[in-house]
């Protein structure tokens, strides 16, 4: 039978809360940050609502959690090392552009979890990642049940104006975003909200008199009713 006390001694777990950094502290910190980072990874993938999902960006949240926890573990209770670390980080420039504000929130979330784990606030880190993750997933589920914003682009002739008016009347809150007319033909862009089961309006519009073609494009913006 493997001697548990010998293993603990070898991993230096007894030095965890001292200034000395043992192998046990390093492994425990990295494993905890990996577990929390994977939860962030899952939540981001589950709640992503952008145009194009980036797995590399999502993986970077896991690595950011681990690297942050490692840094905090190294500079904890060591003023000299902390000042040197600040000086070293001041020369690093991050040039990756974050296009979605939600991505920035996830980045701060990963950094915050890494800080908590790095200073050995394991319980607080676990509670925070679970609570925040549940909130984000619930908000994502609520959003999925709501209608989706669409941009509807129609090409029409003069005979199709009546069909366009009836169409907009059937979707309260729809707005004309742009309209152009040339040579008796026109193009109109309408912004509205619709549920997936209501997308058959595209075929109905295309079959209407005076409508030459119709196209609907989903987008991530919010329609102001």
- 41-99, pLDDT tens digit by residue? 999 998 887 667 888 888 999 999 998 888 888 777 665 666 666 555 555 555 666 67
Residue, of 4 and 160, whose pLDDT is higher: 160
Does residue 215 have a pLDDT over 90?
no
Specify if 223 maps to a domain.
Answer: no
Specify if 53 maps to a domain.
Answer: yes
**pLDDT at residue 15, rounded to an integer:** 47
Mark whether 124 and 30 lie in a shared domain.
yes
**pLDDT at residue 7, rounded to an integer:** 47
**pLDDT at residue 94, rounded to an integer:** 59
Q: Give the range among 66-70, 157-161, 162-166, 220-224 with minimum mean pLDDT.
A: 220-224
**pLDDT at residue 224, rounded to an integer:** 44
Mark whether 77 and 166 lie in a shared domain.
no
Mark whether 122 and 27 lie in a shared domain.
yes
Percent of the chain at pLDDT above 70? 74
Q: Please give the model's pTM, rounded to 2 decimal places.
A: 0.62
Mark whether 108 and 204 lie in a shared domain.
no
Does residue 5 have a pLDDT over 70?
no
Does residue 216 have a pLDDT over 90?
no
Does residue 181 have a pLDDT over 90?
no
The total number of structural domains in the chain stands at 2
pLDDT band (50, 70, 90) for residue 12: very low
Mark whether 41 and 108 lie in a shared domain.
yes
Domain that includes residue 100, residue range:
4-145
Mark whether 126 and 67 lie in a shared domain.
yes
**pLDDT at residue 205, rounded to an integer:** 84
**pLDDT at residue 109, rounded to an integer:** 93
The mean of the pLDDT values for the chain is 79
> What are the φ and ψ backbone dihedral angles of 187, each rounded to 5 degrees?
-130, 135
Specify if 224 maps to a domain.
Answer: no
Mean pLDDT of 118-133: 92
**pLDDT at residue 1, rounded to an integer:** 45
């Amino acid at each position: 039978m493997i001697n548990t006390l010998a293993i603990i001694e070898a991993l230096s777990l007894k030095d965890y809360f001292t200034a000395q950094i043992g192998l046990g502290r390093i492994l425990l910190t990295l494993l905890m940050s990996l577990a929390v980072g994977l939860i962030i990874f899952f939540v981001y993938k589950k709640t992503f609502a952008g145009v194009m999902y980036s797995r590399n960006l999502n993986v970077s949240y896991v690595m950011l959690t681990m690297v942050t926890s490692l840094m905090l573990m190294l500079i904890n209770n060591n003023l000299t090392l902390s000042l040197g670390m600040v000086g070293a980080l001041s020369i690093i420039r991050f040039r990756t552009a974050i296009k979605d504000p939600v991505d920035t929130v996830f980045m701060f979330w990963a950094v915050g979890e890494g800080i908590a784990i790095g200073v050995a606030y394991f319980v607080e880190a676990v509670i925070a990642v679970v609570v925040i993750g549940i909130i984000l997933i619930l908000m994502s589920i609520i959003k999925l049940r709501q209608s989706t914003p669409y941009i509807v682009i129609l090409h029409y002739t003069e005979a199709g104006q009546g069909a366009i008016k009836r169409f907009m009347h059937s979707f309260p809150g729809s707005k004309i975003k742009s309209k152009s007319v040339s040579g008796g033909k026109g193009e109109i862009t309408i912004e509205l909200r619709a549920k997936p089961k209501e997308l058959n309006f595209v075929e109905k519009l295309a079959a209407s008199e005076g409508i030459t073609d119709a196209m609907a494009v989903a987008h991530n913006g919010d329609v102001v009713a």
